[in-house]
């Protein structure tokens, strides 16, 4: 920069000298004017050099500041992207869970007709004619329903007993009674229905068992014995 400035001064001085006519009055006066011009121009260039240097230093400082701020913005942007990515992943996971809860698989069985109307105490009532078995949970050879899904189920029982017969029954889940009751009619055949809401886990086994005494059920074209379960809510 300094060499350029000095060269420029020499060129300008040369131009000034070439265009300056020596006054006829005094050669000394002419040389004095030339020297004054050179000194003044040198001082002006020195001031300009300082101004340019200050400007360059200011620009360099601002560039450094800008570079630092840019690095900070890059880091913040990367953190924001990572946070947003994590939040999106969490949102997708939440949506999948909501979707699973909203999707209710069809689990429903309805079976009727007992193979033997005389049921001994301690035995399971086996309903042999399966009309519906969505979810394949009911086994009509054992009379046992195995829940394929966790959830809240509506379990229903409809049985008919002959007159003067006591049916002591229980709704059993994995060997534990969930409900017990009695059905009795002295003068005629009687049909009764029982329903219960149960929270059942996948793999739990549900059946109807006879207690206390042997019993004779009544069964005809107009008197059906039935066992059913329906999944109402999953989870």
CA distance 90 to 84: 10
Verify that 131 and 230 share a domain, yes or no: yes
Nearest to 228 by CA among 158, 128, 177: 158
220: its two tokens: 């005809």
pLDDT band at 11 (very low <50, low <70, confident <90, very high): very low
**Mean of the per-residue pLDDT values of the chain:** 82
Q: What is the DSSP string of the chain?
A: -HHHHHHHHHHHHHHHHHTPPPPSS-HHHHHHHHHHHHHHHHHHHHHHHHHHHHHHHHHHHHHHHHHHHHHHHHHHHHHHHHHHHHHHHHHHHHHHHHHHHH-----EEEEEEES-SEE-TTPBPPEEEEEEEETS-EETTTTEEE-SS-EEEEEEEEEEE-TTEEEEEEEEETTEEEEEEEEEESSS-EEEEEEEEEEE-TT-EEEEEEESS-EEB--BTTB--EEEEEEEEE-
The answer, yes or no, to whether residue 43 has pLDDT greater than 60, is yes
Which pLDDT band holds residue 30 (cuts at 50, 70, 90)? Answer: low
CA dihedral 52, 55, 56, 61 (to 10 degrees): 160
Identify the domain containing residue 164 by its residue range: 108-234
Q: Which residue has the higher pLDDT, 26 or 75?
A: 75
> Are both 78 and 114 inside the same structural domain?
no
> Same structural domain for residues 116 and 228?
yes
Whether pTM > 0.75 for this model: the answer is: no
- What per-residue confidence (pLDDT) applies to 20? 46
Q: What is the pLDDT of residue 120?
A: 92
pLDDT at position 56 is: 80
Mean pLDDT, residues 40-69: 77
Residue 235's pLDDT is what?
76
> Is the predicted pLDDT of residue 98 greater than 80, yes or no?
no
Q: Which of 72, 101, 130 is the last residue of a domain?
A: 101
Per-residue pLDDT at 216 exceeds 70: yes
Mean pLDDT score, 7-16: 48
pLDDT above 90: percentage of residues in the chain:
42
Q: Show which of 49, 73, 101 is a domain's final residue.
A: 101
My answer on whether 120 and 220 are in the same domain is yes
pLDDT of 5 > 50? The answer is no
* Residues 128 and 113: beta-carbon distance below 8 Å: yes
pLDDT per position as a tens digit, 157-189: 999 998 888 889 999 999 999 999 888 777 778
Average pLDDT over residues 87-111: 78
Report CA 219 to chain centroid distance, whole Å: 53
Task: Among 39, 72, 101, identify where a domain stops.
Answer: 101
Residues 228, 108 contacting (CB under 8 angstroms):
yes
Can you give the CATH number for the domain in which 177 is found? 2.60.120.40
Task: Give the pLDDT score at 100.
Answer: 66
- Categorize the per-residue pLDDT at 27 as very low, low, confident or very high, splitting at 50, 70 and 90: low
Both 131 and 209 in one domain: the answer is yes
């Amino acid at each position: 920069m300094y060499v350029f400035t000095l060269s420029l001064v020499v060129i300008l001085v040369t131009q000034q000298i070439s265009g300056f006519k020596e006054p006829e009055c005094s050669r000394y006066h002419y040389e004095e004017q030339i020297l004054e011009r050179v000194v003044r121009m040198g001082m002006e260039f020195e001031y300009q050099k300082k101004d340019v240097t200050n400007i360059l230093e200011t620009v360099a400082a601002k560039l450094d500041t800008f570079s630092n701020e840019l690095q900070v913005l890059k880091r913040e942007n990367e953190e924001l992207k990572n946070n947003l990515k994590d939040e999106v992943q969490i949102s997708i996971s939440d949506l999948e869970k909501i979707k699973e809860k909203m999707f209710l698989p069809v689990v429903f069985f309805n079976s009727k007709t007992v193979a033997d109307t005389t049921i001994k105490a301690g035995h399971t009532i086996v309903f042999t004619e399966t009309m519906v078995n969505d979810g394949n949970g009911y086994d009509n050879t054992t009379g046992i329903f195995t829940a394929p899904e966790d959830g809240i189920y509506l379990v229903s029982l409809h049985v008919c007993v002959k007159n003067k017969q006591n049916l002591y029954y229980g709704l059993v889940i994995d060997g534990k009674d969930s409900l017990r009751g009695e059905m009795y009619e002295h003068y005629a055949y009687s049909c009764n229905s029982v329903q219960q809401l149960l929270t059942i886990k996948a793999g739990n086994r549900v059946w109807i068992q006879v207690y206390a005494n042997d019993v004779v059920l009544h069964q005809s074209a107009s008197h059906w014995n039935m066992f059913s379960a329906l999944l109402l809510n999953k989870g």
